[in-house]
Amino acid sequence: MEKFKKLLSISILAAFCFCQTLASAEPLASPTPSASPEVTADISAPQPGSEDPADDTVLTDADTEATPEAAPSPAPTAIPADKYISNTLDFHIVMAYKKYVKDSFIKIEVYDKDNNLIGSEREWVGGVTKTVDLHYDVPEYRLGESFTVKLCEGAELLSYYDSRIKPGESFQIKTNYYTDSKGEFVAGNKFNFNATPYWEKEVVVYVNGEQLSLKPRARIVNDRTLIPIRQVADAMGVDVFYDSRYDSVVCSVGSDEIIFNLGTTYATFFGKDRYLDVAPCYIQNSTYIPARYLAEAFEAEIRSEDYGDHIDVIIGESKKVHDYFAKNPVNRWNISSRTNYMVWVSKSEYKVRLYKGSKNKWKLIHTATCAIGAPGTPTVTGSFEYIERTQWDYGTYYVGPVLRFYNGYALHSTLLYYGGGEYDSRVGVQISHGCVRMHPSDINLIANTIPFGTRIYITE
């Protein structure tokens, strides 16, 4: 037993000494990291605009020991030499919006560094054109080469960054190349331009303070403002008609008239021959003349105001038109109508007059003789509106059409047989129960002309 205890003590002591030896031993050395593999950079194709400095960072021992197991970076794929060679140029042109674009062809030429013409392309430009793309097949060149771009025609302005040129002028462009974020090679031989097409300023016409909606529109031709004569003359209160015998347009106010002969500068103003500096022309089925001819002939002030993108042509009141209308009594009575028509019944004259126009500018378009109410049943006087169209039957005869304007008062035909003809055709007399009678041709013309709401004005 004593022997066993002694052997156990010796074993324990030996184990303790062995552990102490391990604890005091020197640490093992770390393995030396392997050297990074050599990476070949493509320095022949730098990316334009890159601001990254060259990678010349020196690794410290700490950096090396931090990533002893890091795998070497793969070498970038080499770019074939022919990637730097091209034989094309592409232009993408964005056209500025203009309301009235003139149809044309934009033409752009390309010249090499020795000023040799190497490409010329043209494309149609019109009101619907938003962009134009031009492709050029040119002699081979190395990316990085510069070219001269010349605008020949088809646009007022061509711009590329800060460079802006007009027809006949040119600027420089330079091709390039780079690698994108995915490391893919990109050839810089496609260019974006902006252009302003040939265009016309909008012409806005005002007559007597009101803007006209002209169709076709007024326009500028050879620096002259031309207007569609009929629409503007109507707005001024001037009558217009086409005389096919002489291929001419006649504008008149009463007996005063001017005659424009199409295609020639010869004209007649109030009976006197005159030669114009611009001949009237035909555009979109309408006759056009310079606005100033019409305005000044009828003694109306005219002026124009240029706002850059449009011109306002402002025509005032015509003195000749004003004086002519002032002679007509209905234009001194300030009679208005909710329509473009007005009917005046003069009981003392037994006349019905139909006018077209507006307040203080009523034009007489038809006159009819009428019968009015008998002394015991007189025709009412005053200002009324046309409210109903009907027919009145009396067994043996009828009247119609009947244009009722107040209670049982109306404008209507003479008494008519159902089978045709007039039962009582008398006009110019006091005979009715208060209505105004007219022959069938007259009442039918009025009934087929005036809409509901037309003013019916009746005087003694």
pLDDT digits (tens, 9 = 90+) for 70-106: 455 554 555 566 789 999 999 999 999 999 999 999 9
For the chain, how long is the longest CA-to-CA vector? 172
Q: Is residue 69 part of a domain?
A: no
pLDDT, residue 426, reads 96
Same domain, 286 and 212: yes
The two structure tokens encoding residue 298: 């009828």
The H or E element that residue 368 is part of is: strand 361-369
Q: Which whole number is the average pLDDT over 40-60?
A: 37
pLDDT, residue 223, reads 85
Q: In the beta sheet, which residues pair with residue 195?
A: 95, 158
Estimate to the nearest angstrom the gap between the alpha carbon of 430 and the chain centroid. 60
| d(C-alpha 362, C-alpha 175), whole Å | 71
In tens, the pLDDT along 237-251 reads: 899 999 999 999 999
> What's the mean pLDDT when you consider all of the chain?
85
Which residue, chain included where needed, has tokens 């015991």?
376
Whether 364 and 355 have beta carbons less than 8 Å apart is answered as: yes
pLDDT above 90 as % of the chain: 72
pLDDT, residue 221, reads 85
pLDDT, residue 42, reads 36
Same domain, 192 and 263: no
Same domain, 179 and 216: no
Q: How many domains are there within the chain?
A: 3
Does the pLDDT of residue 459 top 80, yes or no? yes
CATH of the domain at 213: 3.30.457.10
pLDDT, residue 254, reads 86
Residue 235's φ and ψ, nearest 5 degrees, are -65, -30
**Stronger pLDDT, 43 or 116, i.e. the higher one:** 116
Q: Which whole number is the average pLDDT over 325-330?
A: 90
Same domain, 194 and 208: no
Same domain, 273 and 334: no
Q: Is residue 25 part of a domain?
A: no
Does the pLDDT of residue 31 top 70, yes or no? no
pLDDT, residue 76, reads 52
pLDDT, residue 420, reads 92
Q: Is residue 79 part of a domain?
A: no
The single-letter DSSP state of residue 81 is G
Which has the closest alpha carbon to 194: 64, 91, 318? 91
pLDDT, residue 284, reads 85
Does the pLDDT of residue 350 top 90, yes or no? yes
In tens, the pLDDT along 383-438 reads: 999 999 999 999 999 999 999 999 999 999 999 999 999 999 999 999 999 999 99
CATH of the domain at 345: 2.40.440.10
Which has the closest alpha carbon to 293: 271, 311, 268, 310? 268
Of 307, 323, 339, which residue is a domain's last?
A: 323
- Can you give the residue range of the structural domain that contains 434? 328-459
